[in-house]
Amino acid sequence: MLAGAAPAHAGSFEACLAAIRPSALKSGVSAATYDRATAGLAPNPEVFDLARAQPEFKTPIWDYLAGLVDEERVADGRAMAAQWSRALAAAEQRFGVDGATIVAVWGVESNYGRAFGNRPLIQSLATLSCGDYRAAYFRTEFLAALKILDRGDVRPDQFAGSWAGAFGHTQFMPSTFLRVAVDMDGDGRRDLINSVPDALGSTAAYLRKAGWTTGLPWGFEVRLPAGYSGPSGRKGRQPMEQWAARGITRIDGRPLGAGQAALLLPAGPNGPAFLVTRNFDAIFSYNAAESYALAIALLSDRLRGGRGIVTPWPTRDPGLSRADRRELQTLLMRRGYDLDGKADGVVGTKTKQAIADFQSKRGMTPDGRASVSVLEAARGR
């Protein structure tokens, strides 16, 4: 276990679970459910490593978006929007959130149901509840997860997800599920794992509660005047007239329009710039990371037929789409690197180590980053 991530209780993990039990029972979890869920449970210290390596905060924005808003995810999203058009229409009618935004959340959160996460939620949340990394927060989620089991909303054998406890098609935290999830397919259960309509409707319900305003765009890309040094930041909303007075226009030169927005500069004043509305803040609340919210916002634009970002990122070595990452992994395996025989587009530890070794042998900076320069070198260019 990492330094600073040891169990918060002086005793064992079992003692910690025993200490939580009275609170769980007081909150409404049955003794039978608690005892059954925690019997023989062992901690998983890997969750602390994962907590400290969240890609939203560790990955350059151009790499992060290159993998999340690629042509593959756009094409898949359009297909899913067509397949689930009736469920999306029902969600939009009930909650006022457009289908493209709902599908974009689905695409970013679980790649349209292909990547739920396979970590047992009870184990992960119990481990985090007994550590000193946001233990109070995760203890609340642990109790919420037990309530979900107690109510029979999720079968124990299906209750798996991310290291932090998010689960289902649109990756709700357990407390969010209890507070927001809705039954959209009419079967009497709220099921984010087996029911796409429930997941899509619940996502719309969440965004609505987070302040979503029907018909308001999340924002749009803008062009800054040369040498811009004025205010920026997601929380600094001002009238469009003030942004226009500073020489800011839409990327295509059109007027900004009416309303209020904040200026977002995810890579500084030399990269793409966006004016974002309170609907962007509603998306942000889903995962509290600007890069994450921007990925959903930009993907939703692409799903509507938009062209994506116009201004280039301030880097000479852009990131790779998932298709390009798979090609890079295939080329590295052909060169003898051990990637467990998988070219899955996921840049994990083994892929980073292989890239770093390849870079070192080629006289490149061995940073382990999957980039255009590495792919071109692996192609022999």
Where in the sequence numbering do the catalytic residues fall? 109
- Token pair recorded at residue 317: 């070595």
DSSP-assigned letter for residue 274: E
Q: CA 135, CA 138: separation in Å to the nearest integer?
A: 5
Q: CA 87, CA 200: separation in Å to the nearest integer?
A: 7
- Token pair recorded at residue 332: 């590295």
Which residue is listed with tokens 């710039």?
A: 273
- Token pair recorded at residue 123: 């184990």
Which residue is listed with tokens 């994506």?
A: 308
Closest CA to 173 of 162, 182, 181, 165: 165
Q: What is the 3-state secondary structure (H, E, C) of 21-42?
A: HHHHHHCCCCHHHHHHHHCCCC
Q: How many residues does the chain have?
A: 381
Which residue is listed with tokens 């007075």?
A: 245
Closest CA to 96 of 211, 219, 261: 211
Q: Which residues share a beta bridge with 263?
A: 275
